[in-house]
Amino acid sequence: MADRDVAVYITDLGRCQPESALSASPRRRAWHVQPYETEAFSGNLLSAGEETAAPEVAIELEVSGWHRIYIGVYPEHRGIASVEVKLSEDPCFTHLNMGSEWAPSNPHGHSVYELCWKEADLTGQDLFIRQVCTPTGAADEPAAVACQRTKVAYVKIVPLSVEEVETLERERERRDTRTLFAHNDAHGYLFLYGTATEAAIRNEIEPYRHTDFSRLYWECGAGDLMFYLGEAGRLPACDDTEDFERQGDRLHAETWRSFRDSDLDPLVVALKAAHEMGLTFHASYRTAGFFYPAPLEQWNTDSLYFTRPDLRMVGKDGRIAPRVSYAFADTRRFVIDLLLEVAQHPIDGICILYNRRPPLVDYEPPLVDSFRADHGEDPRLLADDDPRWLAHRSSALTDFHRELREALDTLAREQGRERLTVSACVLNREENVRNGLDLASWVGEGLVDTLIPYTDLPELDSMGTAWEEAEAVSYFVELVKGTSCQLALNVMPRHMSPEAFRRKAASLYTQGVDNLFFWDSAGPSGRANFSASWDVLRRLGHRDEIERWRRQGEPDLSPASKRLKSVGGYDLTYQTPG
């Protein structure tokens, strides 16, 4: 059926094939086909529950030419509305998730919401639909799954005019708008879904296609844990006899055992997919991660923290801290060797992540002894914020960056390749000083090519929004001014309304910030969930568009929806008191 806006609604999903995957009543491993009626039209939706494990189905679109595609999902009362979709010619499925912004406008959830997926030439293509499922049993037990509730009501396709297609193609060729950087911890999709396939890895990157993102920051390791197949560290593939506190940790370990046994390197797959999409790939490394607290002891087996106790951090009072210190040359050498192993792949850069579990240096003997030699005093007898001690202590991480820069430059010369860039994800101004991060030296010496401030203090409150204070922003803007170092502020919190994302981007651009960074940007638990917020976020590099929006006033950016009148014969217009 068609609307006046020439949109075509495919409302009868009971036409999906194969028929054996459909059922008129609830049945495991089949989609439940339910009749529904909205205020505008009626049809048959596909429904699957937490234990359904519905199989993949397809529906003929029966159109040709370019269209914009929307998927109409019906979220249940907790806001869950997840589904995976792909076209015949797509390299992998794309995970679509409603997000949480639907709840304030319709707390009872009796509406179908439209998720804007993408634009594509649909000539000769079918649409494939799949439920999101996670294995829950151990690898040697009968297969069990936990599925995300899925209700898909319709597919909406809007034909694009010749002029719209030409504009779209010009937009896809633009480079001035590609100012957004995405981070992926290379962990969440394994923790949530435990799927050790190339397609699952590509699924993490597919949402950035034809968006304003130009860089992917993909984590390659943490401490001595490697998130790639290598020799420098150890894999997070715990023994299958381990007992895990969280099911996701077991899924993560089982997936890594599968990667290892099948010789499938997720970093290589992600790197290839990013480059095919036109994204640069920056292997990112968590500087901590040598020692995990309870109940995560499984990740500590054979850790450097235990095999090299001489490298442990030492507190002011002489107590051993649960960290490995970068004050020791052997620690720095270990990390650099791991990063050089990663750099054997055709990556575009290395990113050092300081924004988790600092500090990395404290009162270790090399620092205490050298301070005594320089100043004739014991730093342990000084105030914690003594500027002489803070400056001296920061020398360890500055040495690390000098050594890293030299090692990467040597590798690039040996391989005859371009210079590998170095990014640093850092803290706010006060936290950097307190934790031994001398940003002025790093930027001044050209040791860091991209500076990514992760947080300012208000962001620490999950209800707060980062970078509200102009002074916090101007400090970093001035720090890189006149240098070759780029600045990319991390936008927090992860989930905001579409309007809030635009306001934040507009504010930061006005203050001189050219690039925006998005921590945990991947997947339904991150930002790329195809909600109304993602629809805005993925175009935040369009500064001209944002400026027009500011001048003309804020439009309504809430997701389009169709109010449901009935589902499965139940009259939803009848409201029970309470």
pLDDT for 298 equals 87
Which residues does 103 contact at the CB level (< 8 Å), separation at least 6? 79, 109
What three-state secondary structure class fits 256?
A: helix
Which residues does 431 contact at the CB level (< 8 Å), separation at least 6? 358, 437, 455
pLDDT for 1 equals 39
Percentage of the chain beyond pLDDT 70 is 91
Say if CB 262 and CB 196 are below 8 A apart: yes
Phi, then psi, of 307 in degrees rounded to 5: -80, -25
What three-state secondary structure class fits 319?
A: coil
pLDDT for 237 equals 83
pLDDT band, residue 58 (cuts 50/70/90): very high
What three-state secondary structure class fits 155?
A: strand
* Burial annotation 561-578 (CB, 10 A radius, 16+ → b, else e): bbebbbbeeeebeeeeee
Distance CA 472, CA 50 (A): 45
Phi, then psi, of 124 in degrees rounded to 5: 70, 10
Beta bridge partners of 453: 426
Map out the domains of the chain with their CATH numbers: 8-169+559-571 (2.60.120), 178-541 (3.20.20.80)
User: Which amino acid is located at 528 in the chain?
Assistant: A
pLDDT band, residue 143 (cuts 50/70/90): low
pLDDT for 80 equals 65
Half-sphere CA count of 294, side-chain side, radius 13 A: 0
Digit-coded pLDDT (tens) for 72-122: 999 876 556 789 999 999 999 999 987 655 555 555 568 898 999 999 999
Which residues does 428 contact at the CB level (< 8 Å), separation at least 6? 453, 455, 456, 457, 472
Q: Evaluate if residue 127 carries a pLDDT over 80.
A: yes
Distance CA 575, CA 291 (A): 54
Q: Evaluate if residue 141 carries a pLDDT over 60.
A: no
pLDDT for 457 equals 58
Distance CA 472, CA 456 (A): 7
* Burial annotation 27-47 (CB, 10 A radius, 16+ → b, else e): eeebbbbbebbbeeeebbbbb
The angle subtended at Cα 51 by Cα 50 and Cα 54, nearest 5°, is 95
532 vs 369, which has greater pLDDT?
Answer: 369
Digit-coded pLDDT (tens) for 226-285: 999 999 999 998 887 788 888 889 999 999 999 999 999 999 999 999 999 999 999 999
* Burial annotation 284-314 (CB, 10 A radius, 16+ → b, else e): bbbbbbbbbeeeeebbbeebbbeebeebbbb
Which residues does 153 contact at the CB level (< 8 Å), separation at least 6? 11, 13, 36, 43, 45, 72, 73, 74, 112, 562
Distance CA 140, CA 533 (A): 41
3-state helix, strand, coil in the chain (%, to 5): 35, 25, 45
pLDDT for 464 equals 64
Q: Hunting for tokens 């010789």 — which residue is that? A: 263
Closest Cα to residue 17, out of 58, 54, 45, 50?
Answer: 58
Which residues does 473 contact at the CB level (< 8 Å), separation at least 6? 467, 489, 508, 511, 512, 513
Which residues does 526 contact at the CB level (< 8 Å), separation at least 6? 184, 188, 494, 520
Q: Hunting for tokens 């014969």 — which residue is that? A: 569
Digit-coded pLDDT (tens) for 181-208: 999 999 998 998 888 899 999 999 999 9
Q: Evaluate if residue 488 carries a pLDDT over 90.
A: yes
The length of the chain is 578
Tokens coding 489: 């502020």
Digit-coded pLDDT (tens) for 287-304: 998 999 988 888 999 999
DSSP 417-464: -PPPEEEEEE--HHHHHHTT--HHHHHHTT--SEEEE---GGGGSTTS
Tokens coding 26: 């609830």
Distance CA 253, CA 456 (A): 34
pLDDT for 559 equals 72
Mean pLDDT of the chain: 91
Digit-coded pLDDT (tens) for 493-517: 888 888 889 999 999 999 999 999 9
- Give the count of beta carbons closer than 10 Å to the beta carbon of residue 488: 24
Phi, then psi, of 551 in degrees rounded to 5: -70, -35
Which residues does 145 contact at the CB level (< 8 Å), separation at least 6? 51, 53, 133, 134, 135, 136
Q: Evaluate if residue 5 carries a pLDDT over 60.
A: no
Digit-coded pLDDT (tens) for 458-471: 555 455 678 999 99
State which H helix or E strand residue 106 sits in. none
Distance CA 66, CA 49 (A): 33
pLDDT for 144 equals 60
What's the per-residue H, E or C state across 183-230? EECCCHHHHHHCCCCHHHHHHHHHHHCCCCEEEEEEEEEECCEECCCC
Give the lowest-confidence range in 9-18, 99-108, 548-557, 560-569: 99-108
* Burial annotation 228-239 (CB, 10 A radius, 16+ → b, else e): bebebbbbbbbe
